Structure 1
Amino acid sequence: MTRSTPSGWSMPSSLSTRLSIVFAVLLLACCGVSAWLQMAGSDRHEQEVTQRLSIGLAAHIAGNAELMKRDGLNPSAVHELFDQLMAVNPSVEVYLLDAEGRIVGQAAPPGHLKHDRVDLGPVKRLLAGAALPILGDDPRGGLEGQDVSGAQGVQPSQGGRKVFSAAPLKVDGRDAGYVYVVLSGEDREALVANLGAGTVLRTTLWSMAWVALLGLIAGLVAFRLITRPLRQLTDAVQRFERDGVAAIDPATPAFAQVARGDDEIATLGKAFQKMTLRIAEQWRELTALDQQRRELFANISHDLRTPLTSLHGYLETLLMKADTLALADRRRYLEIALGQSRKVGRLAQELFELARLESGVVKPDKESFALADLVQDVFQKFELAAEARRQRLVPQIASGLPVVTADLGMIERVLTNLLDNAIRHTPEGGEIVVQLRPAEAGEDGVAGVQVEISDTGPGIPKELQPVLFTRPAFSSSGGRSGGLGLMIVRRILQLHGSEIRLLPQPGKGAVFAFQLS
């Protein structure tokens, strides 16, 4: 896959490919710079060696007494000596300079001398012992920005500067000028250019090519190994994007493999591994919630259909037989219809209350109160119902209980729902016990109260226990059922940071427990 830029050029989208291209470009640039530095360093080394070997040549020439006469330069001796020197060593060019740098003696072929003066700055630095190599003007070379007339003050370009040897020339003890020897003359430069330039260039280019090739191969292999975990991670993510949740389980081992190590890619792999596990967990939770919602609708429909069918039947009977029914029958039918209507109303109210709790709109209005007093108040509401069924309400309240901080109305609803369930599912003559005892302090160091509500009824069937607090359910054996009341209890306690639990206690019916602090 490629990505088009505004200019129309396509850039590979693979990170490994882009890294390889960038590495290749940088490697070639570094090889080019290295080759240029190597050649420049080699030239400078050669210049320094040449200058050090011939540093005394000019002084030797200046010691020849035949070069100067008492009244000035001896032209014949100069030409003879210069011709001999350049015949023995064609690479040197010898010049005599006056005190201002003008050339007053030389043996150049006609037309080869391009300039009639030499800058004396490098000469003075050489005579002062400055670091070598020192480059000076080449009278036969080109000067940048200077015409052939040799106007003063115009300096030669770097291409016209070469290593040289120089020595002061004295006549009768006074300075008469300088002997100036260019150590790499035009004959040597021409010979080097013809014989050596191609060889050096080819050697340098081949060396650079081999270094670049080997470096590129090594870099590509390294990039391949380094980016392999990233490619595995990319494949796993793409598979997850393509196949959705079905790819979570196959993708997790890939993330685990990438997560080995301590580098940035391993850290990224660990993060993606945690993300996939979290997504899988959330997906299972959503699937379970969706199933619970479906079952909730089905059970609520069942709860509504039964009393509504009964209500409709009795009302229809009253309408059809209003003239033939006795007064007592009509009254009994109306009482039954009214009871079924109350069931529908209570179910609708519970459903509305559960929806409000689940929506997050309702927030606990917490206050501190004594839970024992609240239990006594709730007992008073159920005294008549318990007496009618010859049941006993037994409070077991430990002394020294701490106060709790909670929403008084919500906790009263929790106790009401649990006691109502216990009374309805406990046979006549049974017993309902509410036990309050101190609970161990939590992580925040705050002590609490443990609440247990038990009865002597048939208990909760095993098939209902896993879903008792998540959806309304009915036992297939016709035993005790769980409705919206327990779901409301669970949600209220969750808003208080607590959980309702069903405790297995042999010899008792259903035992519900929760804790408040």
Structure 2
Amino acid sequence: MRLSLTQRISVVFSVLLLACCGASAWLQIRASDLHDQEVIQALSHDLASHIAHNSALMGADGPKAGALRTLFGQLMAVNPSVEVYLLDSSGRITGDDAPPGHIRRARVDLQPVQRFLANDPLPILGDDPRSVDASKVFSAAVVPGADGRPAGYIYVVLIGEARDALATRLGQSTVLRTTLGLMAVVASLGLIAGLIAFGLITRPLRRLTESVSRFDASIRSGAAPVPLVPGLPAAHAGTRDEIAILEHTFAQLVERIGLQWHELKRQDQERRELFANISHDLRTPLTSLHGYLETLSLKDDTLEGAERRRYLAIALAQSAKVGRLAQSLFELARLEQENVQLTLETFPLADVVQDVFQKFELAAQARQVRLRADIAPRLPAVCADLGMIERVLTNLLDNAIRHTPAGGEVSVELAGEDDKVGVVVSDTGPGIAPELRANLFRRAFSSGDARRQGGLGLLIVQRMLQLHGSVIELAERDRRGATFSFKLDAATSRAPLRT
């Protein structure tokens, strides 16, 4: 049968309580018996000596057997609890007043007698002549002989056969049953109190177990993790209650798992949107490419050379668009891996900006957009991955030029900020709608609004800067347009990287 922790503890406690009660009762009875034996033996210590030195019992040749038997009968009549025996020098019983057939031993071990005569600590137990293996307290004295040497011993059993029989009968009396009943009541009350105490002690543990079960059920069902029961006590500073600490720790764990669960749901939703938007953006150029190629194939004999070349140029442009999109997807997937390693080197950021400007010079002229660089004097070099930083600036400038109208301006500002170099890329375009700003760096596409699609470019920029321990932000400025900013560590104070 499977029992809970509380039930197992209760069973163990009950067994231990009953065992302790039984052991305590046995020890009390045993201690009481030893105390009674010691008291009786101490009070009757000289009883045998008085008998042995009674001149009326001694003759010229030693003790008078008849007189001794008469005295033994008188003593046992007056005090039925004692039994008197005469022993010779070897311990053999030579005289008694026991009923026929009651003597079970013919000899008494003299070693306890010698200890008694030597006044060793009481109680001292000796052989009971009326039992095969029993031992009882006694009184003993030497019987002097005619030549002055010991002729034997007076051996008095202080708790005799009659008292044992009486004690056996009284053991079934109302007093004993009442005593045992009271002990049972005390044990029962202790058991009930213990079970209640264990129930109170393990109640927080049961509550925690229920919370874990609900949490496991919610995880298995795929729903949001169920928080702990309301009113769960938090672990106070310095507490030594292990269960309270466990509850508090588990509550924090559930909270963190809940946040991670919601974050995973959000990322999964964004991934679904990403795939949907990618499919949409791939479908448009692929459809156009397929259409123009199909036209070239079907009307090859009727198309003029100029028209054929125009169709081919459009098809090539759409093919290049698909290629760029595929390359961006591949690059984003590579950056999402956890084992991306940076190739760090020291270089002046101003040179990288000039190289990127030269790359976009013709495109800017074609769109009638002016490029401007504002570089602070004595700008420190940076320590970063040159290829990634160049790609960051390329994506930001490409995005800014495409969304800046003719006659506008795209600028890059570099300035030293403590132990960092700040980079600001801005344009004079229409800016980014407020409803798109919250998810600008989360959604790869926003197919419903062609004005400022973050695209894979901004996702790639964000991930590259995260690998450098930096964050890209959409800065707020009074003028029109979009402004992006981030910071890189100067070469003299390189911070630890997250790779």
Displacement of 1:421: 0.9
Q: Deviation string for 1:37-87 (max 9, x for gaps)? A: 121112112111211221121122122012222222211221222222112
**Cα contact 2:61–2:145 (8 A) shared by 1:** no
Q: Aligned letter for 1:26?
A: L
Write the letter of the residue equivalent to 2:139: S
- The alignment partner of 2:364 has SS state of helix
Q: Tell me which residue corresponds to 2:52.
A: 62
CA contact (8 A) 2:235 2:248 kept: yes
Q: Distance in 2 between matches of 1:427 and 1:286?
A: 39
Q: Is the 8 A contact 2:225 2:257 kept in 1?
A: no
What aligned pairs does 1:18-417 form with structure 2 within 5 A after superposition? 18-143=8-133, 160-171=134-145, 173-199=148-174, 202-244=177-219, 251-254=227-230, 256-257=232-233, 262-319=240-297, 322=300, 325-360=303-338, 362-417=340-395
2-structure distance, mates of 1:205, 1:89: 30
Larger CA deviation: 356-365 vs 122-131 = 356-365
Preserved CA contact (<8 Å) 1:248 1:276: no
Give percent identity, aligned residues only.
62
SS at match of 1:165: strand
State the alpha-carbon separation in 2 of the partners of residues 350 and 247 from structure 1. 34
2:327 counterpart letter in structure 1: Q
Distance, in Å, in 2 between the alignment partners of 1:96 and 1:195 is 31
Aligned equivalents of 2:223, 2:358: Cα separation in 1: 58
* Contact 1:12–1:18 (Cα < 8 Å) also in 2: no
Cα distance in 2 for residues equivalent to 1:365 and 1:477: 37
CA displacement 1:332-365 (0-9 Å, x = unmatched): 3332332222212111111121122223454322
- 2: CA distance between counterparts of 1:361 and 1:127? 94
Structure 1 residue 249: Cα displacement? 6.5
Query: Could you tell me which of 424, 429, 436 is aligned with 1:464?
Result: 436
Alpha-carbon shift at residue 410 of structure 1 (Å): 1.4
Q: 2:421 aligns with which of 433, 446, 449?
A: 449
> Secondary structure at the residue paired with 2:229?
helix
Determine helix, strand or coil for the equivalent of 1:297: helix
Measured after TM superposition, the shift of residue 168 of structure 1 is 2.5
Deviation at 1:298, TM superposition (A): 1.8
Alignment of 1:475-514 (within 5 A): 476=448, 478-514=450-486
- Structure 2: gaps (5+ residues): 490-499
Partner of 1:5: none
Rounded to whole Å, the distance in 2 between the matches of 1:120 and 1:426 is 125
CA distance in 2, matches of 1:402, 1:123: 109
Find the aligned partners of 1:200 and 1:496 in 2 and give their Cα distance: 89
Find the residue that maps to 2:153 and give its secondary structure.
strand
Q: Find the aligned partners of 1:342 and 1:243 in 2 and give their Cα distance.
A: 48
Give the total of aligned pairs.
485
1:430 matched to 2:405? The reply is no
SS at match of 2:211: helix
In 2, distance between residues paired with 1:217 and 1:111?
53
The worse-fitting range, judged by mean Cα deviation, of 348-357 and 393-402 is 393-402
Which amino acid in structure 1 is aligned with residue 185 of structure 2? W
Conserved? CA contact 1:255–1:272, under 8 Å: no
Deviation at 1:101, TM superposition (A): 2.1
CA RMSD, Structure 1 to Structure 2 (Å): 2.5
2:435 is paired with a residue of what secondary structure?
coil
Q: Secondary structure at the match of 2:227?
A: helix
- 8 Å contact 2:410–2:425 — kept in the other structure? yes
Contact 2:139 2:157 in 1 (8 A): yes
Q: Distance in 2 between matches of 1:247 and 1:350?
A: 34
C-alpha separation between the residues in 1 aligned to 2:416 and 2:357? 20
Q: TM-score, normalised by structure 1?
A: 0.87
Q: Which runs of 5+ in 1 are unaligned?
A: 1-10, 144-159, 441-446
> Which sits farther off after the overlay, 268-277 or 167-176?
167-176
Do 1:458 and 1:480's aligned partners in 2 also have CA atoms closer than 8 Å? Answer: no
CA deviations on 1:365-406 (whole Å, 9 max, x unpaired) are: 223323222222222212222233333322222344443332
Using the TM superposition, give the Cα deviation of residue 136 of structure 1 relative to its aligned residue in structure 2, in angstroms: 0.9
Helix, strand or coil at the partner of 1:353: helix
Q: Contact 1:240–1:247 (CA<8 Å) still a contact in 2?
A: no
Counterpart contact for 2:408–2:429, Cα < 8 Å: yes
2:494 is aligned to none
Query: Hey, what's the Cα distance between the residues in 2 that align with 1:313 and 1:201?
Result: 110
CA distance 1:324–1:246, shift in 2 (3 Å): closer
Check 1:478–1:356 CA distance in 2 against 1; reply closer, same or farther (3 A cut).
closer
Q: Secondary structure at the match of 1:38?
A: helix
Give the CA deviation at 1:293: 1.1
Q: Using the TM superposition, give the Cα deviation of residue 197 of structure 1 relative to its aligned residue in structure 2, in angstroms.
A: 4.8
